[in-house]
């Protein structure tokens, strides 16, 4: 589904169309789920966060400005839900210990796809700092521009670019490729 189609659905949703919400849900769910998995790396948390993301998306639907891209807006809300959840958890000092085999698959950057097999890439991505993985995956997997990533993460676009660049460089070092 293109950004224009998503935008049209968002406008219909703002006008109270439940059908538009259903279509938006189907279009956004897989991408938001992948993004939340990237952020929390714990599949058991993702269902709750995904539900909360759609509820927050509903409460904040008036903040979507017609004509602007939907995906950065929705991803920023998902990130906000994740951060709010993380803050609440740190306040209650509950720690989650996740077994390494329970870790989900991290989406693999397209550019990196040809570098080595998937498993090695998954392992390599886990060795990188979380902020670098986030920047490179948002850019390479979901195709956001660095300006959009900056707006989502609350950082300058050049910072997003540097993070993605460092991630790719580190990936090449870990995987031992020159490309």
Q: Does 50 bind another protein (CB under 8 A)?
A: yes
Helix axes 3-14, 18-40, angle to 10 degrees: 120
Q: Does 155 bind another protein (CB under 8 A)?
A: yes
Q: Distances from the Cα of 116 to the Cαs of 31, 93, 122, 168, in angstroms?
A: 24, 39, 10, 13
> Residue with structure tokens 């390599």?
124
Residues 83 to 122: which contact another protein by CB under 8 A? 83
Stretch that binds another protein, among 14-22, 97-105, 110-118, 127-135 (CB under 8 A): 14-22
Q: Is 107 left (phi over 0), alpha (psi -120 to 50) or beta?
A: beta
**Residue 127 or residue 154: which is nearer to another protein going by CB?**
154
Residue 64 CB, shortest distance to another protein, in Å, is: 6
Residue 124 CB, shortest distance to another protein, in Å, is: 28
Chain-centroid distance, C-alpha 98: 20
Interface residue with another protein, options 7, 34, 72, 109 (CB under 8 A) = 72
Burial of 54 (0-12, 13-18, 19+ CB in 10 A): buried
Contacting positions for another protein (CB under 8 A):
14-16, 18, 21-22, 25-26, 29, 47, 50-51, 54-56, 58, 60-66, 68-69, 72-77, 79-80, 83, 148, 150-156, 159
């Amino acid at each position: 589904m293109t950004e224009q189609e998503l935008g049209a659905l968002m406008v219909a949703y703002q006008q109270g169309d439940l059908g538009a919400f259903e279509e938006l849900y189907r279009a956004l769910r897989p991408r938001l789920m992948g993004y939340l998995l990237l952020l929390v790396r714990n599949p058991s948390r993702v269902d709750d966060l995904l539900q909360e993301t759609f509820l927050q998306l509903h409460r904040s639907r008036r903040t979507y400005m017609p004509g602007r891209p939907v995906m950065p807006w929705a991803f920023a809300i998902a990130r906000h839900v994740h951060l709010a959840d993380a803050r609440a958890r740190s306040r209650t000092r509950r720690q989650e210990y996740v077994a390494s085999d329970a870790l989900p698959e991290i989406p693999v950057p397209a550019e990196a796809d040809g570098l080595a097999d998937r498993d090695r890439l998954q392992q390599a991505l886990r060795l990188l700092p979380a902020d670098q993985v986030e920047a490179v995956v948002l850019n390479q997997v979901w195709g956001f521009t660095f300006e959009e990533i900056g707006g989502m993460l609350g950082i300058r676009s050049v910072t997003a670019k540097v993070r993605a660049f460092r991630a790719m460089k580190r990936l090449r070092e870990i995987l031992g490729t020159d490309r």
